[in-house]
């Protein structure tokens, strides 16, 4: 993924309502790219610990962001015009399980849903071990998320987010 593309994805998903806003002087550092997935750390200075971490699949516009011990699943679509205060849920479907997450923040084209920190390790492991993942904000708009590269990008995200 070229630098401009990951930066645009990070900006679109990183400045969501309900999450700490990205500061203009933050440094966005790609940690690893594998397949279509990338792990990105956001730092206030080159030698500082990350403020935020993101594992993202930009073609599907799906990602997970951590800010400290707070985790959010995000889904974006440039064609959406979402209202503020949207009362909806994001469904994550794998062949072996399904998870329904309440939307906790929106921008005009991005929705985020909080994931309980205690559920993160098992959710990330389940995603890494599955063959198919579907993320749905509205019934008629499922996004099939390609998983090639997720397992390889996951260790960098886990480390960045303090999960290991």
Question: pTM for this structure?
Answer: 0.87
The number of residues in the chain equals 164
- Nearest-Å Rg of the Cα atoms of the chain is 15
pLDDT, tens digit, 9 for 90 and up, residues 52-99: 999 999 889 999 999 999 999 999 988 888 888 888 999 999 998 999
Residue 46 near residue 72, CB atoms below 8 Å: no
Fold of 3-160: Immunoglobulin-like (2.60.40)
pLDDT, tens digit, 9 for 90 and up, residues 8-55: 555 545 444 334 445 557 888 999 999 999 999 999 998 999 999 999
Q: Residue ranges of the domains in the chain?
A: 3-160
Mean local confidence (pLDDT), 145-159: 97
In the sheet with 52-57, reading across from the earlier edge strand, the strands are: 27-34, 37-43, 52-57, 62-67, 70-76, 110-115, 97-106, 89-94, 134-136, 142-144
3 or 123: which leads in pLDDT: 123
């Amino acid at each position: 993924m070229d630098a401009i593309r990951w930066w645009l994805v990070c900006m679109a998903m990183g400045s969501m309502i309900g999450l700490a806003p990205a500061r203009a002087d933050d440094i966005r550092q790609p940690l690893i790219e594998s397949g279509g997935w990338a792990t990105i750390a956001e730092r206030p200075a080159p030698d500082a610990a990350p403020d935020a971490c993101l594992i993202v699949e930009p073609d599907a516009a799906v990602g997970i962001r951590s800010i400290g011990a707070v985790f959010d699943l995000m889904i974006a679509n440039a064609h959406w015009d979402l209202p503020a205060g949207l009362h909806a849920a994001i469904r994550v479907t794998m062949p072996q399980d399904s998870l329904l997450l309440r939307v906790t923040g929106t921008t005009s084209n991005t929705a985020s849903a909080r994931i309980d920190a205690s559920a993160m390790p098992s959710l990330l492991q389940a995603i890494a071990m599955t063959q198919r993942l579907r993320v749905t904000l509205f019934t008629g708009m499922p996004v099939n998320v390609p998983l090639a590269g997720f397992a390889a990008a996951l260790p960098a995200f886990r480390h960045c987010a303090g999960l290991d």
